[in-house]
């Protein structure tokens, strides 16, 4: 007698092989293990024991071999250490993008159209008569020569100003973004993992810009006692440290990066869970973890004012709900004339996505 095996229908897994289904889980595990492939594989085995991810036909050993065969991991034959490859790093970013923002089709050109005509690389089908100040590159010579032939005849060709037609190009906004991520110790305190959602958002945002807005720039700044930049490829390995929160150092570095960017549109996104508690004065660190320190706060407000003068809005995503922290964020935001969101961890990605996308629909002069 022929039997049938019934299982719960999962539309997200439709058409996926067993390897692809396990790969989705593996990529998620890597975000939680800071890119440690060995630890991720241990978690895969534990999940397999509890939820029967594999069967007699395809086991976890088969999955491990397929990871190597398909170039997702490299194994050191001398000590048995396994590491993820650049292909996997991109896979984690893409998985984060799909999870937070949905699937996006890669485009060859930036997609920041506005209704304001101007210099750009997208040709507008509409033409208009020449006016003083138009450049030579804007002249539609085919239409202009046709006009000259109609107006003055074919035999004695002459081209006058009234014959010229201008073909405009659509203006496109290009944006330089610095994403600041707090990696102070509080990001993993009290049993709540705040750094993993922040990393996933950063990976999704970087993949979004690289696929949909490739003419934009994204720089990642992490800040603890000090601030430094990291490469997009290093995001899966990002960890918190025994640091205080030197927001000033992060803002100073972000401003320095944006000063060197030629795009007229610049912005800072800052993900943090706490107040500034650290400041570098000369060669020493000034620290105060108790309440809001006026000395540190004043320096933050000064930088917020400088950013406002430079037309660099700061959008703060506060993943904490303490009333005194909200007051600090409100004062900081008003000083910069920026925006602030008090985002829960599960909504952080959608908050950032909506804010980033809404900025693309504005005409920035």
Alpha carbon distance 340, 318 (integer Å) = 7
- Sorted by sequence, the CB contacts under 8 Å of residue 131 that are 6+ apart come out as 166
- 8: pLDDT strictly greater than 70: no
Q: What phi, psi does 280 have (nearest 5°)? A: -95, 120
Beta strands at 73-75 and 82-84: parallel, antiparallel or unpaired: antiparallel
Which stretch of 78-87, 175-184, 280-289, 312-321 has the lowest confidence by average pLDDT? 312-321
CB contact at 8 A, 207 and 230 = no
CATH number (3.40.50.2300, 3.40.50.880, 3.30.70.920, 3.40.50.410) of 175-359 reads 3.40.50.410
Rounded CA-CA distance 128/70 in Å is 55
Give residue-wise pLDDT tens across range 314-346: 988 887 666 777 788 889 999 999 888 876 677
Q: Is the pLDDT of residue 105 over 50?
A: no
Mean pLDDT of the chain: 83
Q: Which residue has the higher pLDDT, 319 or 362?
A: 319
* H runs (alpha helix) in the chain: 18-32, 37-51, 60-69, 86-100, 141-152, 195-212, 247-259, 294-309, 323-336, 348-359
pLDDT tens-digit series, residues 116-174: 444 444 455 677 888 877 777 778 888 888 888 888 877 777 888 888 888 766 555 68
Mean pLDDT to the nearest integer, 267-286: 91
Residue ranges of the domains in the chain?
Answer: 15-84, 122-171, 175-359
Selected residue with higher pLDDT from 17 and 350: 17
Q: Is the pLDDT of residue 112 over 80?
A: no
| Most confident of the ranges 89-98, 185-194, 241-250 | 241-250
Q: What are phi and psi of 132, to 5 degrees?
A: -55, 135
Q: What is the pTM of this model?
A: 0.72
The model's pLDDT over 33-42, given as tens digits with 9 standing for 90+, comes to: 999 999 999 9
Provide the token pair at 165. Answer: 């037609």
Q: Is the pLDDT of residue 205 over 90?
A: no
Task: Decide if pLDDT at 108 tops 70.
Answer: no
Task: Find which of 178-182, 287-291, 322-326, 354-358 is predicted with most confidence, using mean pLDDT.
Answer: 178-182
Judge whether residue 206 has pLDDT over 60: yes
Report the distance separating Cα 258 and Cα 218, nearest Å: 10
CA–CA dist 197, 186 (Å, integer)? 14
Residue 268 corresponds to which tokens in the numbers above?
């800072």
Picking from 50-59, 99-108, 167-176, which range would have the lowest pLDDT averaged per residue? 99-108
Collapse the DSSP code of 263 into the 3-class scheme (helix H, G, I; strand E, B; otherwise coil) and give the result: coil
Half-sphere exposure of 176 (CA within 13 A, CB side): 16
Query: How many angstroms separate the most distant Cα atoms in the chain?
Result: 94
Residue 92 has pLDDT above 50, yes or no: yes
């Amino acid at each position: 007698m022929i039997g049938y095996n019934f299982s719960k229908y999962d539309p997200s897994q439709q058409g996926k092989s067993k390897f692809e289904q396990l790969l989705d889980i593996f990529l998620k595990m890597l975000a939680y293990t800071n890119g440690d492939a060995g630890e991720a594989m241990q978690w895969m085995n534990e999940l397999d024991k509890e939820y029967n991810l594999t069967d007699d036909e395809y086991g976890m050993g088969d999955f491990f071999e397929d990871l190597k065969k398909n170039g997702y991991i490299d194994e050191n034959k001398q000590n048995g250490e396994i590491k993820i490859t650049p292909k996997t790093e991109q896979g984690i970013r893409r998985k984060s993008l799909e999870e937070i923002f949905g699937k996006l089709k890669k485009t060859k050109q930036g997609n920041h159209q506005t209704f304001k005509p101007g210099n750009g690389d997208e040709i507008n089908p509409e033409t208009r008569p020449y006016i003083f100040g138009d450049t030579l590159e804007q002249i539609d010579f085919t239409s202009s020569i046709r006009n000259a032939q109609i107006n003055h005849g074919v035999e004695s060709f002459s081209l006058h100003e009234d014959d010229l037609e201008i073909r405009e190009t659509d203006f496109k906004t290009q944006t330089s973004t610095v994403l600041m991520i707090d990696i102070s110790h509080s990001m993993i305190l009290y049993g709540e993992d705040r750094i993993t959602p922040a990393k996933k958002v950063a990976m999704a945002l970087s993949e979004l810009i690289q696929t949909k807005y490739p003419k934009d720039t994204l720089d990642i700044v992490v800040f603890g006692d000090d601030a430094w930049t990291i490469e997009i490829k290093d995001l899966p390995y990002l960890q918190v440290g025994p640091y205080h929160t030197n927001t000033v150092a992060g803002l100073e570095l972000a401003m320095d990066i944006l000063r060197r960017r030629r795009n007229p549109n610049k912005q800072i996104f800052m993900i943090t869970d706490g107040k500034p508690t650290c400041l570098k004065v000369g060669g020493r660190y000034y620290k105060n973890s108790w309440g809001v320190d006026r000395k540190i706060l004043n320096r933050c407000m000064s930088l917020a004012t400088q950013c406002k003068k430079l037309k660099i809005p700061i959008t703060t995503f506060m993943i904490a709900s303490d009333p005194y922290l909200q007051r600090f964020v409100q004062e900081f935001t008003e000083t910069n004339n920026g925006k602030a969101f008090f985002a829960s961890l599960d909504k952080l990605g959608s908050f950032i996505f909506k804010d980033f996308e809404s900025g693309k629909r504005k005409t920035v002069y």
